[in-house]
Amino acid sequence: MNSKIALLTVASIGTAGGVDGLGYWYSIPKDLKDLLIKEGKQLLDVYGNTSDAEWKKLADKYKGNEATITLNVDKQVNKIGTFRIDASDTDGFAKLKNKCKELFEKKISDKEDFKTAKQDAINWCIDKSDALTKELKSVQTSTRGGSGAGQGVRTDGTVQQQLSHSASGERGAQSSGPAPSN
């Protein structure tokens, strides 16, 4: 009788170990989507339309050829590699959504491109990203006098000066430098 109990005990332990091992194997993230979810990130919907308002807001900030955007909290956010959305693009949000879907499907690795893809997804594809929750840094402009010359003082303390067409039809120059002290 004791040998039957011992045999059942060994069989039970082996089965439990197999189930635990199988559970562990299934809990290992296989792609970036799984990893971000495991880290507690809430991903924007890339399959349906429940996050379309967020995608549109992100795409509006993403538009342009610059490699980064600057947020009002003095934070630079890199865009996703060479992926760009033209300013005139009306379906830019769908393109950004598809790009994030590609990022989510990236297989886990310890290579630098995976680390970059993860940061890109955090920057552009989750509901708590700074790009979504913070505003862009604005450029304030003012026009002085009637000369048509405008001087914009950026919030970073630099000055951007644009001169309009002069009476002779020549276009004025643009300059950027430190803000004048008063």
Please give the average per-residue pLDDT across 89-117, as a whole number.
97
Q: Between 14 and 115, whose confidence is greater?
A: 115
Q: Is residue 56 very low, low, confident or very high in pLDDT (cuts 50, 70, 90)?
A: very high
Q: Is residue 2 very low, low, confident or very high in pLDDT (cuts 50, 70, 90)?
A: low
What pLDDT sits at residue 180?
Answer: 46
What pLDDT sits at residue 138?
Answer: 78
Q: Which of 147, 145, 143, 144 is nearest to 167 (CA)?
A: 147
Give pLDDT tens digits for 20-54.
544 555 678 999 999 999 999 999 999 999 999 99
Max CA distance (Å), the chain: 111
Please give the average per-residue pLDDT across 73-102, as a whole number.
96
What pLDDT sits at residue 61?
Answer: 97
**Mean pLDDT of all residues in the chain?**
76
pTM over 0.95: no
Residue ranges covered by each domain of the chain = 1-29, 31-133, 139-178
Please give the average per-residue pLDDT across 134-156, as a whole number.
52
What pLDDT sits at residue 48?
Answer: 97
Q: Which of 1, 11, 135, 149 is nearest to 75 (CA)?
A: 135
Query: Which of 41-45, 95-99, 166-170 comes out lowest in average pLDDT?
Result: 166-170
What pLDDT sits at residue 20?
Answer: 52
What pLDDT sits at residue 148?
Answer: 42
154: left (phi over 0), alpha (psi -120 to 50) or beta: beta
* Identity of residue 31: D
